[in-house]
Amino acid sequence: MTNKEFEHHNAESSPPTSFLASCDEGIVITGIGVVLPNTRTVDQFWTNISQGRSQIGRLTRFDGEAAGLPVHAAAEINGFDHHAFLPELTDGHAAKYSREILITMSAVAEARRDAGLPIDGIDPRRLGIVMSSSRGPLAWWRDVLTGADPAAFGDKGAMFRGMAGCPATLSAIYNNAQGLVTTISNACVGGHQAIGLALRELRSGAADAMLVGGHEFPIMPEVVSCYRAAGKGVMSTERDDPSRAVRPYSADREGFALGEGSVVLCLERESTAKARGARIYSEVLSAASLNEAAHPTTMDLTGKVTASLIEDALADAGRSAADVDYFCAHGTATRYNDIAETRALRALYPEASAAQLPPISSNKPIYGHTFGMAGIINVAATSLMVHHQAIAPTINLTTRDPECDHDHVFEGLRPARLDLAVSMSFAFGSQTSVVTVGAPS
């Protein structure tokens, strides 16, 4: 988020709005598919976040200096081959798709494989796919409109490569998913909202399983220019050590680095999952989202609006703030984001000392900022923390910002009793969202 002058927000004018009604039927995560930088399996994902192994490296996708952009780090996917993930996709069809589509389809297929959900193991009319992406196939359109690829419209694949919803629809064809298939585009809260929409489908009885994910490929000079224009401290300019480019809550933070890839969750009704003997990572208890209808580029800086939204989500889950064991932060390493999260915790626990606040950490230093996919990564990470009963750390946090003086997990993987956790996201457009995750029953 930007670093303009702080603006006062009237918490009373922005009441939180529930994203869904509560329901008795439990919804669980049984599969996690990841195609991220140097990460192709859920085990690699857990190793990287739990051991604090940053996948942010030297920016190679374009020459930042030549473009007049002092940005040197990004979390890039290199050398990806879809064949291992999509063995039934012919090369003829794959040639019509883009890199982005193939990566996303691979993450969807991996989530289903990790869940142990075979093609013939579910009524296809009761399987859906909901995806989130803030910008869709921006790189393809850039090349078309600038003439970098003059033949882009010259084959039948152009229809696929240019549509933001095609990663979901083509995944549906490959997986024979005949239920609700759609794509949300709503900046950094889109991933949480995709989960909320999937919860509605499952709790209404319209679906038995939903593949819910995000895909984002923003490593482009045009995207960097947009965020650089938002002000100093939004994008990291770290040159010497790319792995330290993102430093949430640290006094020397200077913004985020871009990341790319796709992460997909397999959500199922608990009764269906248990009936087939599925391994369960966690239970998704609730999702809540609001638009503050206030400042378009900053979040609630009183903390009261976000705290109210968290309370609303917890109430949907039949829980309270006193039950929360951990917060998985948006954690962009920008001053507004860091302070907003701190103030939200203080508003949520007004009587608690800093040391008494529940622990918090961010995975942005590992995979960078992925916008429409960020909420999905957070919920995937939170689910694995609940599954392993340990909190993954915020790396690169050295000297804490005095305004963020509470329980940051930065010393390394911290064993903990995790029965209830909250994932948070903030987005341009005055938007906030949370998803609550619990240990399976």
Q: Show which residues are catalytic.
A: 188, 330, 369
Distance CA 78, CA 39 (A): 11
Residue with tokens 């590992």: 366
Question: In this structure, which amino acid lies at residue 301?
Answer: L
Distance CA 105, CA 112 (A): 11
Distance CA 311, CA 313 (A): 5
Q: Are 422 and 325 in contact (CB under 8 A)?
A: no
* Closest to 195 (Cα-Cα) out of 137, 143, 267: 267
Q: Are 292 and 371 in contact (CB under 8 A)?
A: no
* Closest to 216 (Cα-Cα) out of 107, 117, 72: 107
The distance of Cα 15 from the centroid of its chain, to the nearest Å, equals 24
Question: In this structure, which amino acid lies at residue 100?
Answer: E
Q: Which residues contact 95 (CB under 8 A, 6 or more apart)?
A: 157
The Cα-based distances of 124 to 200, 284, 329, 422 in angstroms read: 18, 23, 35, 32
Distance CA 406, CA 355 (A): 6
